Chains A and B, each alone.
Chain A
Amino acid sequence: MTLNRRNLLAAAAATPLAAGLPMSGARAQAQNTIRIGVLNDQSGLYRDLSGPGSTQAVRLAIQDSGITQRGINVEVVQADHQNRPDVGSTVARQWIDRDGVDVIVDVPTSSVALAVNTVVRERNKVFLNSGAATSDLTGAQCSPNTIHWTYDTWMLARGTGGAMVRAGGDTWFFLTADYAFGHALERDTAEFVRAAGGRVLGQVRTPFPGTTDFSSYLVQAQASRAKVIGLANAGGDTINSIKQAAEFGLTRRGVKLAGLLVFVTDVHSLGLQTAQGLVLTETFYWDLNDRTRALTQRLGNMPGGLRPTMVQAGCYSAVLHYLKAVADMGVQQAKASGAEAVNRMKAMPTDDDAFGQGSIRPDGRKIHPAYLFEVKTPQESRGAWDYYKLLSTVPADEAFRPVGQGGCSLVRG
Chain B
Amino acid sequence: MDEIFGIPAPLLFGQLLLGLINGAFYALLSLGLAVIFGMLNVINFTHGAQFMLGAFVAWAMLNFLGLGYWWALLLAPIVVGLFGVLLERTMISQLYKLDHLYGLLLTFGVGLIVEGLVRNEFGSSGLPYRIPTELTGAWDLGFMFMPVYRGWVVIVALVACIATWLVIEKTKIGSYLRAATENPALVQAFGINVPRMMTLTYGAGVALAAFAGVLAAPIYSVNPQMGSNLIIIVFAVVVIGGMGSILGSVVTGFGLGIIEGLTKVFYPEASATVIFVVMAIVLLLRPAGLFGRA
Contact = CB atoms under 8 A, between A and B. Distances in A.
Chain A interface residue number, banded = 35 or more
B125 A266 contact: yes
A165 to B, nearest CB: 25
Interface in A244-301: 244, 247-249, 253, 265-266, 268-271, 273-274
Interface residues of B, number: 46
A29 to B, nearest CB: 34
B124 A206 contact: no
Contact of B11 (A44, A219, A240): A219
Contact of B128 (A45, A178, A244, A271): A271
Contacts of A274: 128, 130
Contacts of B226: 212
Contacts of B150: 215, 247
A409 to B, nearest CB: 32
Given A216-B18, A240-B220, A271-B128, A209 B229 contact: yes
B106 interface: no
Given A220-B11, A247-B131, A43 B264 contact: no
A243 B125 CA distance: 13
B271 interface: yes
A86 to B, nearest CB: 19
Interface string B177-213: 0000000000000000000000000000000000000
B269 interface: yes
B262 to A, nearest CB: 10
A49 interface: yes
Contacts of B86: none
B127 interface: yes
Contact of A43 (B11, B124, B144, B149): B124
A51 interface: yes
A184 to B, nearest CB: 17
A194 interface: no
Interface in A185-235: 204-207, 209-213, 215-217, 219-220, 222-223, 235
Given A212-B229, A219-B11, A220-B265, A236 B123 contact: no
Interface in B104-155: 116, 119, 121-128, 130-131, 138, 144-145, 147, 149-150
Interface string B5-17: 0001011001100
At the interface, is chain A mostly helix, strand, loop or mixed? helix
B264 A45 contact: no
A168 interface: no
B219 interface: yes
Contacts, number: 123
A206 B125 contact: no
B161 to A, nearest CB: 19
B11 A236 contact: no
B221 interface: yes
Contact of A240 (B19, B221, B268): B221
A217 B126 contact: no
A372 interface: no
Nearest to B14: A219
B229 A247 contact: no
Contact of A270 (B22, B123, B128): B128
Contacts of B138: 248-249
A48 B121 CA distance: 12
A182 to B, nearest CB: 11
B255 interface: no
Contacts of B8: 223
Contact of B220 (A48, A210, A212, A217): A212
Interface in A41-58: 43-49, 51
Contacts of B221: 212, 236, 239-240, 243, 269
14 contacts: A44-B225, A46-B124, A207-B271, A210-B272, A215-B21, A216-B15, A220-B11, A220-B15, A220-B265, A236-B126, A236-B225, A239-B126, A265-B123, A304-B123
Interface of A: 43-49, 51, 178, 204-207, 209-213, 215-217, 219-220, 222-223, 235-236, 239-240, 243-244, 247-249, 253, 265-266, 268-271, 273-274, 303-304, 306
**3 smallest A-B Cβ distances: which pairs?**
A271-B128, A304-B123, A207-B272
Given A248-B145, A265-B123, 14 more contacts: A44-B225, A45-B225, A47-B125, A178-B269, A205-B268, A207-B270, A207-B273, A210-B229, A210-B272, A216-B18, A220-B265, A249-B147, A265-B125, A303-B123
Interface of B: 8, 10-11, 14-15, 18-19, 21-22, 116, 119, 121-128, 130-131, 138, 144-145, 147, 149-150, 218-221, 223, 225-226, 229-230, 232, 261, 264-265, 268-273
